[in-house]
Amino acid sequence: MGACDGLERGEFDVRAPDEPGELAVADGPADRAQPPEETRSTGQAYAELRQRVEGGWEPRKFEAPREELGRFDPERAALPPTSLDGAADYVEEHRAARPWLTMADGASPEARRILAAMDAGGGHSHIRHEGWVTEEASMRRAAYLEDPAQLNSGKRNLGIDGVKPDDKPHRCASTSTRITDPDAFATAFARAVEHPKVREALDKPFDPSAKPNEVIVPIADLLGPDGHRYCTGWRLEPVDGSMKTAQAKRDTWLADRAAGREPDVPEPQVRPVPTFEGGAISFFFERNDAEKRYQIATMFPRPV
């Protein structure tokens, strides 16, 4: 029986990706070796510790430019009009089915309005590249192609995409990254929408079969000189000195495991991105067929 057969029957005949390898330490019982007040899982504590030690990350609160965010016009990004009250209602109404909206609980009301408009507008950047995604989830995405947007844990373990229909495989580049603070995330988005390079893409004449090319904007342009401190990421370890090979081997390892075979390639290994200083934020676009316009499909930090 293949992995997908088991999935249809609600069973899983593949090993969980966390059984072997160095990441196994991330998945022990949550009540083991933790101080009494620890509320994180062992895996989350492990990932955060590595991110602090190897990535130099310290959780910090971004000072939201609330007046500026209050002026953000969702229509400029082809998003539905959203008021402050409407955003609060939206989050309450949808938080059970769309748990990433819990990110809005820690956001300023102005940032919450932007996040709610993004969610209602169909983009997926806030689901995979924002603070709702824990360090552990980001780490596992890079290592095992587990999609944080996939709410079915069995499907997530099998690398099935949580946004695309028909159980398509999830894809991830060599690096999985996020902006760790909701106000920083909303600020980056709002400022990008008015950035000339992004604006040019959004304002292109609509073509129902095409879309604008990727655009990148320096993190510092969107979040200021310390903006890189609000970004974290996990990157595959090269194999035989090659990241290209590492990505190919990751696919092979996951395919072997899904088919119930003993992988004959090394388990994927990841480590925190050491710094985002000097980095950029990537923007990819998609068609908004109803509005006959383009919108931001996703955005994510990319290190140098």
Q: In what order do the strands lie in the sheet with 175-179?
A: 175-179, 231-236, 270-272
CA Rg value for the chain: 20
Residue 302 is a binding residue for other proteins (CB under 8 A):
yes
Query: At closest approach, how far in Å is the CB of 115 from other proteins?
Result: 19
Residue 304, interface with other proteins (CB under 8 A)? yes
Sole window of 24-32, 87-95, 96-104, 172-180 interacting with other proteins (rule: CB under 8 A): 172-180
Region of residue 33 (left: phi > 0; alpha: psi -120 to 50; beta: else): left
Pick the binder of other proteins from 180, 232, 282, 288 (CB under 8 A): 282
Rounded Cα distance between 254 and 195, Å, is 39
**Mask of contacts with other proteins, 244-273, x by CB under 8 A?**
xx-xx-xx----------------------
Q: Which of 254, 230, 97 is nearest to 171 (CA)?
A: 254
E strands present in 134-238: 175-179, 215-218, 231-236
Which two three-digit tokens encode residue 266? 């090394």
Q: What is the DSSP letter of 228?
A: G
Shortest Å, Cβ 139 to other proteins: 17
- The site string for other proteins over 217-236 (x = CB under 8 A, - otherwise) reads -x------------------
Residues lying near other proteins in the complex (CB under 8 A): 171-174, 209-214, 216, 218, 244-245, 247-248, 250-251, 278-280, 282, 284, 286, 297-298, 300, 302-304
